C-alpha cells in the first residue's frame, strides 16, 4: 500500500526521534510517538506501550503491546487492532481485558516472562482525590511496567503520582514519568519521587499542559540524566 505523503513525513519524523540503549541482548531503540505512547524495537521484535495517541500509519505491526489503563489516552482498541498480527501478545490490567479479547492479564505485583522479557506490573494510582474531588486512578486498577531487556530495566510509570511503590524501586536504568494535572502530579512532585529511586536516565512523558523544564531543573545536580523530548510534535 502506498502511503500518503503526509504519513511518510510523520513516520520519518517519528523514527528520527528514536533513543538507543545498549544492552547485553543488543540495541534497544525507543521511539516516542505521542503523550504516553511509544514504540520499542529490540532483538527484531516490535513492542508498543499504550498505543493510543499520535500517528501509526507506516509503523510496523506489534509483537507485544502493553496497556497501562482504561482511559482513552492509554487504551484505543481500534489502534491495537490495527497494530496486532497473528501471534501478537497483549498485556493489560484486568480492568481493560473486556476491550482486549485474549489479552494476558497482569495484576499489580505480578512478574511474568513475555517473549524472553521479564515484565513486572507496578502499581499506578493517585494518592488522594484531585482538587475537584475526583480520583482518576484507583489503586489496583492500572499497571505501570518494568521491562527487563538484556539486563537493563525500563520503567513505564503510566498514570500515577509519586507513590511509595515507585519511590521504593531499585536498579531502574531508564524511566518514563508522567506529570500533568489533575490526573497525575506536578513536575516538582514528579522530580521529588524520581530522586527517591534515582534512575540512571529519566524522560518526562504524559506532560500535556505542564512544563517539563521545571522537572529537569529540580533534578539538576542529582546525577540523573534528564532527557527532554517533544512528545507532542505530531
pLDDT mean across residues, the chain: 90
pLDDT at res. 26 = 94
**pLDDT value at residue 6:** 42
Question: Is 68's pLDDT higher than 80?
Answer: yes
pLDDT score of 12 more than 70: no
| Chain segment 78-97, per-residue pLDDT in tens | 999 999 999 999 999 999 99
Domains and CATH numbers, the chain: 18-226 (3.60.15.10)
**Long-range Cβ pairs for the range 28-34 (8 Å, 24+):** 28/149, 28/150, 28/152, 28/154, 30/154, 30/174, 32/203, 32/205, 32/229, 32/230, 32/231, 33/59, 33/234, 34/231, 34/232, 34/233, 34/234
Per-residue model confidence as pLDDT tens digits over 161-178:
999 999 999 999 999 999
pLDDT at 15 over 80: no
Predicted TM-score of the model (pTM): 0.91
Amino acid at each position: 500500500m502506498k502511503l500518503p505523503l503526509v504519513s511518510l513525513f510523520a513516520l520519518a519524523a517519528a523514527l528520527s526521534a528514536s533513543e538507543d540503549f545498549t544492552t547485553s541482548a543488543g540495541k534497544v531503540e525507543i521511539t516516542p510517538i505521542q503523550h504516553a505512547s511509544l514504540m520499542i524495537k529490540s532483538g527484531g521484535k516490535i513492542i508498543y506501550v499504550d498505543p493510543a495517541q499520535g500517528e501509526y500509519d507506516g509503523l510496523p505491526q506489534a509483537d507485544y503491546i502493553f496497556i497501562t489503563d482504561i482511559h482513552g489516552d492509554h487504551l484505543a482498541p481500534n489502534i491495537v487492532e490495527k497494530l496486532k498480527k497473528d501471534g501478537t501478545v497483549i498485556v493489560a490490567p484486568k480492568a481493560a481485558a473486556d476491550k482486549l479479547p485474549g489479552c494476558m492479564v497482569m495484576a499489580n505485583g505480578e512478574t511474568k516472562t513475555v517473549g524472553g522479557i521479564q515484565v513486572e506490573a507496578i502499581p499506578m494510582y493517585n494518592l488522594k482525590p484531585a482538587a475537584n474531588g475526583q480520583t482518576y486512578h484507583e489503586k489496583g486498577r492500572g499497571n505501570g511496567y518494568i521491562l527487563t531487556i538484556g539486563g537493563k530495566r525500563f520503567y513505564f510509570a503510566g498514570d500515577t503520582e509519586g507513590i511509595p511503590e515507585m519511590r521504593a524501586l531499585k536498579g531502574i536504568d531508564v524511566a518514563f514519568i508522567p506529570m500533568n494535572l489533575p490526573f497525575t502530579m506536578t513536575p516538582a512532585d514528579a522530580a521529588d519521587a524520581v530522586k527517591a529511586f534515582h534512575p540512571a536516565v529519566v524522560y518526562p512523558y504524559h506532560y500535556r499542559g505542564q512544563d517539563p523544564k521545571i522537572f529537569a531543573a529540580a533534578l539538576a545536580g542529582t546525577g540523573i540524566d534528564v532527557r527532554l523530548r517533544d512528545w507532542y510534535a505530531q
